[in-house]
Amino acid sequence: MIQAFSAFQKKNLSVKRALLSVFDKTGIAELGTFLHEHGVELISTGGTSKVLEDAGLPVTSVDSLTGFPEMMDGRVKTLHPAVHGALLSRPNVEADMASLSELGYAPIELLVVNLYPFSETVAESSGFETCIENIDIGGPAMLRAGAKNIDHVCVLTSSDQYSAFMQEFKEQDATVRYKYRLRMAQHAFQHTSIYDTAVAMYLSKEIKSGFPDVLNLQLPKFAPLRYGENPHQAAAVYGNQGDIIEVLHGKQLSYNNLLDVDAALNLFRDFQHDEPTCAIIKHTLPCGVSTRASLKEAWEAAFATDTISPFGGIVLVNQPLDAETAQAIDTIFTEIIIARAFSEAALELLSQKANRRLVKIKNFSATESRYAYRSIFGGMLCQQPDAVATDTRNFQVVTHKTPTDQQMADMLFAWKVVKRVNSNAIVFGRDQQTLGIGSGQPSRLDSSEFAIAKAAKFGHDLKGAAVASDAFFPFRDGIDASAKAGAGCIIQPGGSIRDQEVIDAANEHGICMIFTGRRHFKH
Ligand SMILES: NC(=O)c1ncn([C@@H]2O[C@H](COP(=O)(O)O)[C@@H](O)[C@H]2O)c1NC=O
């Protein structure tokens, strides 16, 4: 506390010389003009000098300062003691000033640098050579030097900071407070560390080295949140959520809303190319999913699965949302509605409720991620995302009875839903509609019985229904329970030591069964 107090007693910095070297020239002429008007000498690199000179400002070129021309297409411009000595010198250390003046150099108090656009170049799918050329070397070196010399230098790293800087400079009588410099130095180190991480990640992808030795996520803060899962938990969200979704109406998404939207987007992955499909989600779990000829019918069938749970839930549709479907959804309170697009009429209708959020999926491909992460004690778990459920290459019919086309379609539908249900997960479905969903029970038999009970509660006859199980049935009891409830076919990964007992049970009941060879646990 005492240390922090004394830190803020440090002197304001007066600025006599500024070095400006920016890739993004936005606002640089205005900043240069402002500095010039306040008697600051401007020093600059090639392209930046040109912009400043075009604005009628006197500029000292870095070349004339270093006595060397820029070399190798700009690979070496500012990497010189005239620049780094000036940025690292301490005017209160006699020896520093003596060595500087011996060489004819002088301190620089303001450094304005923004870096070559490495991540943007990678995002444009540029070739390897182009990406490598866009790794800035001189810029980060200067930023680190200036940010280290916090007592004597102020660093700016983005055009977004110029206007606040000018305000600070004016308010402080052409000086900069220590507190301000401290914040800018912190930004600078954060900026160069994010930059270097992006380069390291790019190179690790290039050499396909698998899981990184050090996990360095470096996600920018997207937004502070009102609270976390509960009101007494402070929270924030990090990442590029703003590139993926847009809230067209309603309050900011909460922590729990974001979890639900994430669950919805994961479900969307397996259904995005299907006929009109609607999923209703509650507390990240699907409570009704259906595919129909129209979105409205899909919503009605999804809602029919369980007509109690959807209140206050999330609705996801895989097609642009039309007014007719919006009207149907509006008959119950739905907190979030997610779609690729909303018709004008649907938007107008659904916006009438203030406490509802309408979320547009802006760029679904931006959800693609190499790894999925989960925090645990002491760190993070990291895995590849669970691949699509419709990879039928390893599907195998293991019973005497083979499925009809209709049964195959029903099983695939239930399989896509069960993948997004917490383990142990059991889903009964028929005609592209979920009929009973059993989730999160520690026993697979309990999940089966739960799904059967839910179906009965909402009046669904399970005769001929398909059953999907996210992992193998360890005993025949789950098969017996499903068959007794009326199931006509079962889809499950297989792989139990009692598989034969389970297959025999299916044969005894005269139903068909598929082993997918792939488990979809979700813990
Ligand atoms: N190599 C160097 O010595 C060097 N010094 C500064 N730069 C970068 O050159 C850019 C500005 O160049 P110009 O003013 O020529 O447009 C900035 O993004 C700056 O970070 C350099 N370029 C790359 O490393």
The model's pTM:
0.77
Host domain of residue 461: 392-515
- CA–CA gap between residue 306 and residue 299 (Å, rounded): 12
Judge if the beta carbon of residue 157 lies within 6 A of ligand 1: no
Residues 194 and 274 in one domain: no
The pLDDT of residue 264 is 97
- In this structure, are residues 221 and 236 in contact, taking their beta carbons and an 8 Å threshold? yes
The predicted-structure confidence for 174-212, as pLDDT tens digits, reads as follows 999 999 999 999 999 999 998 998 898 888 777 766 787
For residue 139, how far is its CA from the centre of ligand 1 (angstroms)? 6
Binned at pLDDT 50, 70 and 90, residue 498 comes out as very high
The pLDDT of residue 1 is 43
Residues 299 and 250 in one domain: yes
For residue 189, how far is its CA from the centre of ligand 1 (angstroms)? 17
Q: What is the mean pLDDT of residues 157-163?
A: 96
The predicted-structure confidence for 313-329, as pLDDT tens digits, reads as follows 999 999 999 999 999 99
Number of other CB atoms surrounding residue 388 within 10 Å: 10
The pLDDT of residue 73 is 85
Q: What's the CATH number where 188 sits? A: 3.40.50.1380
For residue 340, how far is its CA from the centre of ligand 1 (angstroms)? 41
Residues 34 and 171 in one domain: yes
The DSSP annotation for 106-162 comes to: ----EEEEE---HHHHHHTT--HHHHHHT--SHHHHHHHHHHHTTTT-EEE--GGGH
Judge if the beta carbon of residue 434 lies within 6 A of ligand 1: no
Number of other CB atoms surrounding residue 219 within 10 Å: 10
Name which residue sits closest to atom 23 of ligand 1, judged by CA.
136
Domain assignment present for 521: no
For residue 134, how far is its CA from the centre of ligand 1 (angstroms)? 10
Domain count, the chain: 3
Out of 53-57, 72-76, 279-283, 466-470, least confident range:
72-76
- CA–CA gap between residue 197 and residue 214 (Å, rounded): 11
Out of 4-13, 41-50, 339-348, least confident range:
4-13
Written as six digits, the tokens of 102 are 């011996």
3-state secondary structure of 249: strand
- Cα–Cα distances (Å) from 369 to 64, 84, 300, 373, 503, in that order, read 47, 39, 33, 10, 37
The pLDDT of residue 71 is 85
- In this structure, are residues 483 and 458 in contact, taking their beta carbons and an 8 Å threshold? no
Residues 485 and 452 in one domain: yes
Domain assignment present for 55: yes
Domain assignment present for 382: no
Contacts of residue 184, defined as CB under 8 A and 6 or more positions apart, other chains included, come to 147, 154, 155, 156, 157, 161
Domain assignment present for 234: no
Active site residue 523: no
Element (H, E) at 373: strand 372-376
Taking 90 as the threshold, does the pLDDT of residue 145 lie above it? yes
Q: What is the mean pLDDT of residues 221-237?
A: 96
Per the prediction, the chain carries an average pLDDT of 93
For residue 120, how far is its CA from the centre of ligand 1 (angstroms)? 17
Domain assignment present for 463: yes
For residue 197, how far is its CA from the centre of ligand 1 (angstroms)? 19
What residues does 426 pair with on adjacent strands? 438, 469
Residue where one domain finishes, among candidates 190, 207, 224:
207
For residue 77, how far is its CA from the centre of ligand 1 (angstroms)? 7
The predicted-structure confidence for 353-404, as pLDDT tens digits, reads as follows 999 999 999 999 889 888 899 999 999 999 999 987 777 888 999 999 999 9
For residue 54, how far is its CA from the centre of ligand 1 (angstroms)? 19
- CA–CA gap between residue 439 and residue 422 (Å, rounded): 5
The predicted-structure confidence for 441-458, as pLDDT tens digits, reads as follows 998 889 999 999 999 999
The predicted-structure confidence for 17-54, as pLDDT tens digits, reads as follows 999 999 999 999 999 999 999 999 999 999 999 999 99
Judge if the beta carbon of residue 115 lies within 6 A of ligand 1: yes
The pLDDT of residue 231 is 96
Judge if the beta carbon of residue 117 lies within 6 A of ligand 1: no
Name which residue sits closest to atom 19 of ligand 1, judged by CA.
139
Pocket mutation for ligand 1, best pick of 19, 21, 43 (most atoms within 8 Å of C-beta): 21
Binned at pLDDT 50, 70 and 90, residue 9 comes out as low
CA of 137, closest atom in ligand 1:
24
CA of 70, closest atom in ligand 1:
3
Taking 60 as the threshold, does the pLDDT of residue 277 lie above it? yes
Judge if the beta carbon of residue 118 lies within 6 A of ligand 1: no
CA of 46, closest atom in ligand 1:
15
Residues 282 and 347 in one domain: yes
Active site residue 283: yes
Task: Choose the catalytic residue: 38, 187, 283, 401.
Answer: 283
CA of 115, closest atom in ligand 1:
18
The pLDDT of residue 315 is 98
Residues 344 and 398 in one domain: no
- In this structure, are residues 19 and 142 in contact, taking their beta carbons and an 8 Å threshold? yes
Q: What's the CATH number where 453 sits? A: 3.40.140.20
Q: ipTM of the predicted structure?
A: 0.92
Residues 320 and 422 in one domain: no
Residue that has been written with the tokens 């919805």 in this structure:
264
The predicted-structure confidence for 245-275, as pLDDT tens digits, reads as follows 999 999 999 999 999 999 999 999 999 999 9
3-state secondary structure of 205: helix
Judge if the beta carbon of residue 436 lies within 6 A of ligand 1: no
Judge if the beta carbon of residue 113 lies within 6 A of ligand 1: yes
Domain assignment present for 333: yes
Taking 60 as the threshold, does the pLDDT of residue 464 lie above it? yes
The predicted-structure confidence for 92-109, as pLDDT tens digits, reads as follows 999 999 989 998 899 999
- In this structure, are residues 290 and 444 in contact, taking their beta carbons and an 8 Å threshold? no
- CA–CA gap between residue 470 and residue 418 (Å, rounded): 6
The DSSP annotation for 426-495 comes to: EEEEETTEEEEEE-S-SSHHHHHHHHHHHHHHTT---TT-EEEESS--SSTHHHHHHHHHT--EEEE---
Judge if the beta carbon of residue 138 lies within 6 A of ligand 1: yes
- Residue 240, preceding peptide bond in cis (omega within 30° of 0): no
For residue 206, how far is its CA from the centre of ligand 1 (angstroms)? 25
Judge if the beta carbon of residue 21 lies within 6 A of ligand 1: yes
The predicted-structure confidence for 406-451, as pLDDT tens digits, reads as follows 999 999 999 999 999 999 999 999 999 999 999 999 988 899 999 9
The pLDDT of residue 208 is 67
- Cα–Cα distances (Å) from 12 to 2, 112, 113, 143, 176, in that order, read 19, 18, 21, 20, 5
Binned at pLDDT 50, 70 and 90, residue 2 comes out as very low
Residue where one domain finishes, among candidates 182, 207, 232:
207
Residues 342 and 425 in one domain: no
- In this structure, are residues 225 and 236 in contact, taking their beta carbons and an 8 Å threshold? yes
Contacts of residue 364, defined as CB under 8 A and 6 or more positions apart, other chains included, come to 244, 265, 268, 272, 340
CA of 80, closest atom in ligand 1:
3
The pLDDT of residue 387 is 82
Residues 174 and 319 in one domain: no
Residues 65 and 166 in one domain: yes
- In this structure, are residues 45 and 77 in contact, taking their beta carbons and an 8 Å threshold? yes
Judge if the beta carbon of residue 134 lies within 6 A of ligand 1: no
Residues 320 and 201 in one domain: no
Taking 60 as the threshold, does the pLDDT of residue 303 lie above it? yes
Pocket mutation for ligand 1, best pick of 77, 84, 113, 120 (most atoms within 8 Å of C-beta): 77
Judge if the beta carbon of residue 318 lies within 6 A of ligand 1: no
Task: Choose the catalytic residue: 148, 187, 353, 401.
Answer: 148
Residue where one domain finishes, among candidates 157, 188, 207:
207
Domain assignment present for 488: yes
Residues 28 and 176 in one domain: yes
The pLDDT of residue 480 is 95
CA of 140, closest atom in ligand 1:
20
Written as six digits, the tokens of 443 are 């026993």
Binned at pLDDT 50, 70 and 90, residue 128 comes out as very high
Element (H, E) at 278: strand 277-282
Name which residue sits closest to atom 8 of ligand 1, judged by CA.
139
Name which residue sits closest to atom 2 of ligand 1, judged by CA.
138
- In this structure, are residues 40 and 15 in contact, taking their beta carbons and an 8 Å threshold? yes
Domain assignment present for 358: yes
For residue 82, how far is its CA from the centre of ligand 1 (angstroms)? 15
- CA–CA gap between residue 313 and residue 333 (Å, rounded): 8
Pocket mutation for ligand 1, best pick of 53, 134, 136, 159 (most atoms within 8 Å of C-beta): 136
The DSSP annotation for 48-111 comes to: HHHHHHHTT---EEHHHHHTS--BGGGTBSS-SHHHHHHHH--TT-HHHHHHHHHTT-----EE
Distance linking the first and last C-alpha atoms of the chain: 44
- CA–CA gap between residue 463 and residue 455 (Å, rounded): 11
The pLDDT of residue 310 is 95
For residue 89, how far is its CA from the centre of ligand 1 (angstroms)? 21
